[in-house]
A and B are shown apart, each in its own frame.
Chain A
């Protein structure tokens, strides 16, 4: 990754997020139950939890992609569920699988936002896109299509596409999933350095313990759709709560009856 963040243009107003009594039902299934959280402007807030605990659904509520059954999400003073909020807040979401536009090249993926919002002429857009690609060491991949990229590159392009929007709130959904440890460390470094350079509020959803402990200002643990704990990374290095301890530091016990059952099924 290039170290030329000092030229970053993304410093601007950033927003905190307030979630009040958020409940979400999908039919008879309750995915989120009475969630209340406060994310302060400029911090990296990590939401951790096991698969299926509702953390991605929570992130979609913050992004305004889901509407709450009860409760509300506010970005600064704006209602996240109101589509007009996107006119006020530059919000960018880095999707778990990248969600890059498969029919567009890397360059066009990044240029789409400034083009559609007429933020600059084509020369200005080119400068902005190439500068962002350079920040993430992707300048050589500008004419490739998403299908030609590795998993790690796709993630970086997704982050670059988010950055080109000059976001005031940056959301990451499982940014290190399916990546090798080296690439995970690189992505962690990118997230931390971007916040340092741009002061943008970043909300990261992950179940990657190392990522969370290395970049977070604060961490929330979500389990079965409820907030189990909120604290600073140090609070989670040796957690007192045995359920959280088991989630963060799982011990594989082959004498566990569940393994016996799996073994029998296999036979």
Chain B
């Protein structure tokens, strides 16, 4: 019961943090340099790992499905399978997981250390709301960068699959056939559904990580604990919310 109350309390605090942050949306143009800085951190620095991982996820997906589908003569659908899997599910979820591990942990560590070393208190006494200066630019940046990262992840995954299909001897599906199959069974809705998911996951991750960072209390040891809590909470939320968002979108 106590734990349930704590969870509800955390959800309530996170929602309040969001409401307080959204109150400062009109000030966003003044936060432009911070917004650009966060776009760089969330987007540009995450890009290499997103590219590499999605390429290999697409490759493995093609390899596994090629190996299985060869047995019942359905190799021509590998492009469809890789395309839909990457676009609707693996692309957004993988980008969200990377975001939680790489950016979410950094956000929590930074805000938690600012809290522990009283920098947040200093902002409050200076009448500079932390929500305006620290939370809002991050939320805005993740909304802009997540669809970009998800599209790049999709493209890398598709091309990873195409390469494997073309150059693996027991699959031998040329790129033309692969992409033709990919296009035939995939519509704009599949792409936009994937992007909505990525957007939603990214927003939730950044909000949760900001909330956990800003609510850290105690000494330097708590910073590490806060980072762990933020990453674990984000990962659980991604997978739980994935089910509900997918259900809502289907």
State whether the Cβ of A253 lies closer than 8 Å to any Cβ in chain B: no
Contact B119 A93 (CB under 8 A): no
Q: Is the CB of B119 within 8 A of A91?
A: no
In this complex, what residue of B is CB-closest to A116? B128
Query: Which of A43-51, A96-104, A195-203, A221-229 interfaces with chain B?
Result: A96-104
A87:B118 contact, CB within 8 angstroms? no
Q: Please pick, from A60, A102, A165, the residue contacting B119 in the complex, using a CB distance under 8 A.
A: A102
Cα–Cα, bound, A65→B128 (Å): 13
Q: Which residues of A contact B119 (CB under 8 A)?
A: 99-102
| CB of A165, distance to nearest CB on chain B (Å) | 7
Which residues of B sit under 8 angstroms from A63, Cβ to Cβ? 121, 125
- In the complex, A112→B117 CA distance in Å? 18
A-B CB contact pairs (8 Å), 21 listed: A64-B124, A64-B125, A65-B124, A86-B124, A86-B125, A86-B127, A91-B125, A92-B126, A93-B122, A95-B121, A97-B117, A99-B118, A99-B122, A100-B119, A100-B122, A101-B119, A102-B117, A113-B126, A113-B128, A117-B128, A165-B126
B133 within 8 A of A: yes
Assess the B128–A95 pair: CB atoms within 8 A: no
Contact yes or no, B127 A117, CB < 8 A: yes
Interface residues on A, range: 20 to 34
For B114, list chain A residues within 8 Å (CB): 101
Interface string of B165-180 (1 = CB under 8 A from A): 0000000000000000
Which residues from A are CB-within-8-Å of B117?
A: 97, 99, 102
Q: Is the CB of A65 within 8 A of B121?
A: yes
Residues of A within 8 A of B126 (CB): 92, 112-113, 116, 165
> In the assembled complex, how far is the CB of residue A139 from the closest CB belonging to chain B, in whole angstroms?
22
CB distance from B180 to the nearest CB of A (A): 51
9 residue pairs, one from A and one from B, having the closest CB atoms: A99-B118, A86-B127, A99-B122, A93-B125, A116-B128, A95-B118, A113-B126, A63-B125, A65-B121
Apart from A65-B125, A165-B126, what 6 extra A-B contacts exist at CB < 8 Å?
Answer: A65-B124, A86-B124, A92-B125, A92-B126, A102-B117, A116-B133
Question: Complex Cα distance A100/B119, Å?
Answer: 6
Q: How many residues of B contact A (CB 8 A)?
A: 13
Instruction: Give the contacts of B94-149 with A (CB-CB under 8 A).
Output: 113-114, 117-119, 121-122, 124-128, 133
Which chain A residues border B121 with CB–CB below 8 Å?
60, 63, 65, 93, 95, 99
- Distance between Cα atoms of A165 and B128 in the complex (Å): 12
Contact residues of B with A, CB < 8 Å? 113-114, 117-119, 121-122, 124-128, 133
Measured CB to CB, the residues of A under 8 A from B are 60, 63-65, 86-87, 91-93, 95, 97, 99-102, 112-113, 116-117, 165
Residues of B within 8 A of A102 (CB): 113, 117, 119
Chain B interface main SS type: helix
In the complex, chain B residues whose CB is within 8 Å of the CB of A86: 124-125, 127
Find chain A residues with CB under 8 A from B118 CB.
95, 97, 99
Q: How far apart are A123's CB and chain B's nearest CB, in angstroms?
A: 18
Distance to closest chain A CB from B81 (angstroms): 46
| Complex alpha-carbon distance, A60 and B127, angstroms | 15
Q: Which residue of A lies closest to B121 (CB)?
A: A65
Q: Which residues of B contact A112 (CB under 8 A)?
A: 126, 128
In the bound assembly, the distance between CA atoms of A101 and B113 in angstroms comes to 11
Question: In the bound complex, what is the Cα–Cα distance between A211 and B113 (angstroms)?
Answer: 31
In the assembled complex, the CB of B232 is this many whole angstroms from the nearest CB of chain A, namely: 26
Shortest Cβ distance from residue A169 to the other chain B in the assembled complex, whole angstroms: 10
List of A residues within 8 angstroms of B124 by Cβ: 64-65, 86
Q: How far is the CA of A86 from the CA of B123 in the complex (A)?
A: 11
Could you tell me if B127 and A87 are in contact, using CB atoms closer than 8 angstroms? yes
Q: How far, in angstroms, from A101 to B119 measured CA to CA in the complex? A: 6
List chain B residues, Cβ under 8 A from A93. 121-122, 125
A92 to B128, CA, bound (A): 12
Chain A: CB-nearest residue to B120? A99
How far does the alpha carbon of A19 sit from the alpha carbon of B126 in the complex, in Å? 22
Q: Which residues of A contact B122 (CB under 8 A)?
A: 93, 95, 99-101
CB neighbours (8 Å) of B128 from chain A are 112-113, 116-117
Bound state CA distance, A65 and B119, in angstroms?
12
Closest Cβ of chain B to A94, distance in Å, is 10
A100 to B121, CA, bound (A): 11
Distance, CA A91 to CA B121, complexed state (A): 12
CA distance A99 to B119 in the complex (A): 5
| Highest count of chain B CB atoms <10 Å: which of A93, A97, A117 | A93
Provide the bound-state CA to CA distance between A102 and B127, in Å. Answer: 19
Chain B residues contacting A64 (CB-CB under 8 Å) are 124-125
